[in-house]
């Protein structure tokens, strides 16, 4: 499932009016998740607000906010690393427009009713990373996404051995 964004929202207002905020499609939720992470890097409060929109009736607890802060600290390249064209060699600069390839779960039989697991790929890791979403009222909300926040190869510009 490919999803294309012409731009990454830079304010919460742009995030709220982004056409891909239609969470009836799991791939939209994934793309907006990466946008929320990028927004968090620019403005932490706006990023948390965006994440809460994507989490539905389960807003971020202080632990979740701390986890996000810890994982994104010193990794401003991480959110864009999942878009097509981003690689350590180009310092994770994705091609434009921004294209995200959301891959289906090869073992969907293992997931319980009301949930879906999809995978995102980055040139910064050897394996695809899972994102688990939960459905409520025809909308897909973030449920488990810690793998996306795991470390990836550092950009060439930051690599003293690069």
pLDDT digits (tens, 9 = 90+) for 128-157: 999 999 999 999 999 999 999 998 999 998
For residue 160, tell me if it sits in a domain.
no
Per-residue pLDDT, 149: 96
For residue 149, tell me if it sits in a domain.
yes
Residue 98 pairs in a beta bridge with: 5
pLDDT digits (tens, 9 = 90+) for 41-95: 999 999 999 999 999 999 999 999 999 999 999 999 999 999 999 999 999 999 9
Per-residue pLDDT, 73: 93
Please report which confidence band the pLDDT of residue 161 belongs to, taking 50, 70 and 90 as the band edges: confident
CA distance 151 to 133: 21
Per-residue pLDDT, 41: 97
- Asked if residue 99 has pLDDT above 90, the reply is yes
Per-residue pLDDT, 123: 96
Per-residue pLDDT, 72: 95
Tally the domains of the chain.
1
40 in Cβ contact with 47 (< 8 Å): yes
Which of 30, 45, 34 lies closest to 141 in space, CA to CA?
Answer: 30
Is the pTM higher than 0.75?
yes
- Asked if residue 110 has pLDDT above 80, the reply is no
Its domain, for residue 99, covers 2-155
Residue 135 pairs in a beta bridge with: 140
For residue 77, tell me if it sits in a domain.
yes
For residue 139, tell me if it sits in a domain.
yes
Per-residue pLDDT, 137: 96
For residue 162, tell me if it sits in a domain.
no
| Dihedrals phi, psi of 8, to nearest 5 degrees | -95, 125
For residue 161, tell me if it sits in a domain.
no
Token couple for 37: 């992470």
């Amino acid at each position: 499932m490919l999803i294309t964004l012409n731009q990454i929202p830079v304010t919460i207002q742009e995030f709220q009016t982004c056409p891909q905020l239609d969470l009836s499609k799991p791939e939209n939720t994934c793309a907006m998740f990466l946008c929320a992470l990028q927004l968090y890097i620019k403005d932490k409060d706006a990023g948390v607000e965006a994440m809460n929109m994507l989490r539905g009736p389960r807003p971020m607890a202080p632990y979740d906010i701390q986890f996000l802060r810890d994982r994104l600290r010193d990794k401003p390249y991480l959110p864009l690393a999942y878009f097509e064209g981003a690689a350590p060699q180009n310092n994770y600069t994705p091609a434009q427009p921004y294209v995200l390839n959301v891959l289906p779960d090869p073992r969907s039989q293992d997931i319980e009713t009301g949930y879906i697991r999809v995978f995102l790929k980055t040139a910064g890791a050897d394996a695809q990373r899972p994102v688990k979403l939960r459905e409520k009222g025809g909308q897909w909300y973030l449920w488990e996404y810690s793998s996306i926040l795991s470390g990836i190869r550092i950009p060439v510009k930051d690599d003293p051995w690069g």
